[in-house]
Structure 1
Amino acid sequence: MDILDDIKNKVKDLPEQEVRSYLQFILYRIALLEDKENSLVEFAKDLKEILNEILYPKVTDSDLFGKSNYKKIHIQFGYPYLRQPLKELNILEEEFIIAFHENFSIAPITSLDTEKGQTDRFDWLKNNLSNEYEVEFYKESLPKVISQVLSIHDDLPIYIWVSENANEQTALLFYNVFVAGTKE
């Protein structure tokens, strides 16, 4: 199997939200090429990084933070906007980003710390959203993200990024009640 087949198979299996994030990042980098300070070499490096992320995704480990050199953890809700600034500051390797892609401003959020609560939410989303891929992405990502948050060691500082919109404020409440409460 050649590289083109590998790429087709990997992209086919990516959640739509992730594909959109990659596309948005690529378009952003293309727009930056007009700025003389941003070179084609840097652009090529960024594209190679995206290719490697897609073809060779990092394995999620239950002790993700115990085997790493991460010095800070950033938690964000909604659109993943932190990756590029941390990369530009050359600290992406030292600071880990956990992104809740979930839209907490819609659907039930009762007992999301339990499997039943998550199932109830996903059933509501499936019945009320027309985008089947988005529902599947939520279904796959929420347990994974909660697991990442619960595996953070107590000695690592956590920075939570939120704005004043309904999604991120509700997500912050979810984090404080269900996730942070289980770590105490």
Structure 2
Amino acid sequence: MNENLRNSINQLSESEAKSILLQTMLRLKKIPESNESQRQMIKDLHVWWNLKFAQSSKKCTEMEYKTVHIVCGESTTGSLKFGLEHGNKVIGFPDFFAAGPIWKLHEEEGRTHRYEWLRDHLNIEDDFIEKEYQKRFSKTLAELEAIPDHVPIVLWTGENAGEQTGIRYLLYMLKEKPNDAFLINTTLAYQELYNTNEIQYFCFHTGEVHPEKLNDIYQKNLPEALTLEERSRFEKEWITLSNTKGVVRILEDHIIKEVGEDYFDELLITAAQNLHKQKGKDFIRTGRLIGEVLGQIDGMVGDSFLEYRVRCLINQGVFEIKGILKAMRYYRVKLRE
């Protein structure tokens, strides 16, 4: 057992290891804070450990899972793995498609183009782009190809441009697969199952939903399999998207729209103006500024893209800087007078 566990840990990438450590510490931190019994919390930790390591310590055969779930984003992948019951395999796509080029992403040329843009423009912790992005992307594509033809596939999405773009890309990459494919829109399913006249909650992203509720949604709100016509429509929509050259997408009236990469600049400037009114004309922590904007846009893009736009505004002379542009925690900004 110890040897198998050691081998499983050695096979983890750096980002996977840090993600597991973070999730473990968060669950341990909740034990004294939660109303649940410590016994139940420890039991939940053991279940999570079993999902992470006990199953990964042996080679997964076709008989070990009955359904494959595919989702975009690492944190969402972790939530889904924790929430779903045994017999469900989760494939997490290590990308979020609201920002960055998607031109010809279904071809090697397009994947290289996206990698180079992300590498040259975004500051992501732990050098993820340089060290792991291409490897993880290729590994996930190989996992999709290896799905047995008889296993049903469930794709998860939400009312945001990243996940909506992602499912169109994924369905295109699965176009030769004869498997039944199901599509769960977490935003709509959550509203149907949990919203009441007194309580209304709009979750834009699958990752916002508690793991237990993700399992509940899967058990109670799984739609009919996509028809061939529906799959063909998604595939054609992907081809249209993949011919675009822009780097930012938003979801407007359920339609994916390409916008200029300066789309969020005015929000950054307005947020800085408001913080100056509250705090005076002192330099503002870049993370604080970006956090203010993230709260307004409900995660339409990530913090790394907004940090890139802050750097662009610095280069344009909109912001003054104090510190070094190594990462957002290393510098502060203020509006030029």
TM-score w.r.t. the length of structure 1 is 0.72
2:142 equivalent to 1:147: yes
Counterpart in 1 of 2:110? 117
Q: CA deviation at 1:47?
A: 7.8
2:174 equivalent to 1:180: yes
Q: Distance in 1 between matches of 2:93 and 2:82?
A: 17
Identity of aligned pairs, percent?
22
Higher strand share: 2
Contact 1:72 1:95 survives alignment (8 Å): yes
Where structure 1 has 5 or more consecutive residues not aligned to the other structure, the ranges are none
Q: Distance in 2 between matches of 1:49 and 1:140?
A: 25
CA RMSD, 1 decimal: 3.3
Note closer, same or farther for the CA distance 1:24–1:96 as it changes in structure 2 (3 Å cut).
Answer: same
Counterpart in 1 of 2:43? 42
Q: Distance in 2 between matches of 1:182 and 1:142?
A: 19
SS at match of 1:134: helix
Where structure 2 has 5 or more consecutive residues not aligned to the other structure, the ranges are 179-337
2:129 equivalent to 1:129: no
SS at match of 1:183: coil
SS at match of 2:64: coil
Which of 83, 88, 100 matches 1:95?
A: 88
Note closer, same or farther for the CA distance 1:48–1:164 as it changes in structure 2 (3 Å cut).
Answer: closer
Q: Distance in 1 between matches of 2:150 and 2:44?
A: 36
Q: CA deviation at 1:21?
A: 4.9
Q: Which residue identity does 1:100 align to in structure 2?
A: F
Note closer, same or farther for the CA distance 1:153–1:48 as it changes in structure 2 (3 Å cut).
Answer: closer
2:169 equivalent to 1:169: no
SS at match of 2:68: strand
Q: Distance in 2 between matches of 1:27 and 1:150?
A: 34
Q: Distance in 2 between matches of 1:116 and 1:96?
A: 30
Counterpart in 2 of 1:14? 13
Q: CA deviation at 1:111?
A: 2.3
Note closer, same or farther for the CA distance 1:18–1:31 as it changes in structure 2 (3 Å cut).
Answer: same
SS at match of 2:175: helix
Contact 1:104 1:168 survives alignment (8 Å): yes
> What CA deviation, in whole Å up to 9, does each residue of 1:103-127 have, x standing for no partner?
2111111222322221111100100
**Greater Cα shift, 154-163 or 107-116:** 107-116
Which of 56, 79, 82 matches 1:84?
A: 82
